[in-house]
Amino acid sequence: MAAIDTNGPVKIEPAMRTLKLSGHVGFDSLPDQLVNKSVQNGFVFNILCIGETGLGKSTLMDSLFNTNFESTPSPHNLPTVKLKAHTYELQESNVRLKLTICDTVGYGDQVNKEDSFKAVVDYIDAQFEAYLQEELKIKRSLPSYHDSRLHVCLYFICPTGHGLKSIDLVCMKKLDTKVNIIPIIAKADTISKTELQKFKSKIIQELQANGVEIYQFPVDDDSVSDVNGAMNTHIPFAVVGSTDFVKIGNKTVRARQYPWGTVQVENESHCDFVKLREMLIRTNMEDMRDKTHARHYELYRRRRLAQMGFSDVDADNKPVSFQQTFEQKRSAHLLELQQKADEVRQMFVQRVKEKEAELKEAEKELHAKFDKLKKEHTEEKKRLEELRKKIEDDTIEFNRRKAQSAQSTHTLTLGKSKKK
Ligand SMILES: Nc1nc2c(ncn2[C@@H]2O[C@H](COP(=O)(O)OP(=O)(O)OP(=O)(O)O)[C@@H](O)[C@H]2O)c(=O)[nH]1
Ligand SMILES: [Mg+2]
């Protein structure tokens, strides 16, 4: 049943009754079905490691997943920051994990670090965009789609003991609405125990002062709220990584050896590596995947759709459907096209008119030129005619005079001969 009010149709939920089952039905197996399906499909997890060159990113990844990803060290002289992603298939018991590790290359190596975050932001957005485009397809293949959206960003902080650098703050601020950020203090074995506590509080204080929102381990699930709540107070984790193993007692452990002693990666009194692994992989991996989809991707999708002109409400804040918006946009687009066609037609007519006027003007000029020439020609002809006539008259006169003079000469000659 639906009632109409001024805000449009409102759904009235049917009253719900709770019933008792008389025997076993079987839908209590739903969680198992879900687990089986997920295990069958395998899992995807994508990690973004941001940190200066040589800060121990690859070593930490090797330590976290207890393997060797065979990375190569990056050069220090790149003109820009780049991102490099590698995907690996891992298996533990019967659970398959498709893990992508994305590393920054050349981060913090440029003199001007103002735009260092840009490559990272673009990369994260490109993964969201690819997912959005797949989602918007008519024929979607999301189950087989390789989701490359980044689920977590491990931000490696330099163990300076002095607080964050501006590149750290700027970058984390730009990313905090796009990815779950876990700041970690890299190479924590290079900083003393008392300095470390001060360093940690300084970092947290600077993050808060700059309004940077880092990922908080969720405390809404009773089974993990205590441990997550406690771990939230340890952020940023101070970690140590190593690819070397040392025999301690009868156990071989991952460690870094120094002339004065040994730092054990997995020893909680030496560093926070175990805490990080526990939180990142063993307790909250699913929450990060979930938050990436439900929070960060959702925000990106909403912004992109708004950019494309789609919204859930119209200008008067009344709900509109996707179809209505689409039809509105379609008619607006058609109208715009029509207007453009009219404009082009008018422009064409105008141009033709202008050209016609230009041609007429040229024709007029030509006529005037022709008339002038004709007039000049007539005058010239007349002048020449007159000249010719004058010459003729002169010739006649000349001939007449010539004849006359010849006659008078003859008469004179005759007179002389008579005298003789
Ligand atoms: N003291 C100390 N050194 C470390 C630690 N982790 C790694 N290193 C050393 O730092 C150097 C660089 O380590 P990588 O893991 O290659 O660093 P990266 O950040 O991956 O370097 P690029 O990929 O070249 O940027 C190596 O010599 C490591 O042995 C650590 O926790 N403490
Ligand atoms: Mg590396």
Interval 133-171: pLDDT, tens: 999 999 999 888 999 999 999 999 999 999 999 999 999
Q: Tens digit of pLDDT for each residue in 220-279? A: 988 899 999 999 999 999 999 999 999 988 999 999 999 999 999 999 999 999 999 999
Q: What is the pLDDT at residue 132?
A: 96
62, containing H or E segment: helix 57-64
Has residue 13 got a pLDDT over 80?
no
4 pLDDT tier (thresholds 50, 70, 90): very low
Any ligand 1 atom below 6 A from CB of 52: no
- Ligand 1 proximity of 54 Cβ (cutoff 6 Å): yes
| Reported pTM | 0.79
Helix, strand, coil share (%) of the chain residues, nearest 5:
50, 15, 30
Give the pLDDT confidence of 72-119 residue by residue, as tens digits: 888 888 899 999 999 999 999 999 999 999 999 999 888 888 888 999
Q: Which residue has the tokens 């060159």?
A: 53
pLDDT surpassing 60 at residue 3: no
254 lines ligand 1 (CB under 6 A): no
Q: Nearest CA to 217 among 136, 296, 288?
A: 288
Q: Which amino acid is at 346?
A: Q
**pLDDT per residue as tens digits for the range 376-409:** 999 999 999 999 999 999 999 999 999 999 888 8
Give yes or no for a contact between 179 and 49, defined as CB atoms under 8 angstroms apart. Answer: no
Query: Which ligand places an atom closest to the C-alpha of 74?
Result: 1
For residue 1, what pLDDT is reported? 40
Give the mean pLDDT of 201-220: 95
Q: Quick count: other Cβ atoms within 10 Å of Cβ 411?
A: 8
Q: Locate the ligand 1 atom nearest the alpha carbon of residue 242 and give its number.
A: 6
Q: Which amino acid is at 321?
A: S
Class of domain 39-308: alpha beta
Q: Confirm or reject: Cβ of 272 under 6 Å from ligand 1.
A: no
Task: For residue 75, give both structure tokens.
Answer: 């050069």
Give every CB contact of residue 198 below 8 A, 6+ residues apart in sequence.
Answer: 161
311 vs 58, 132, 137, 171, 376, CA distance in Å? Answer: 43, 16, 19, 30, 78
Ligand 1 mutation target, pool 50, 59, 240, most atoms within 8 A of CB? 59
Tracing tokens 């203090």 back to the chain, one arrives at 185
Determine contact, residues 166/206, Cβ cutoff 8 Å.
no
**Residue extents of the structural domains in the chain:** 39-308, 315-387
Helices (H), 279-321: 285-291, 298-307
What would the two tokens of residue 283 be? 């307790």
Tokens 């501006």 identify what position? 166
CB atoms within 10 A of CB 52: 21
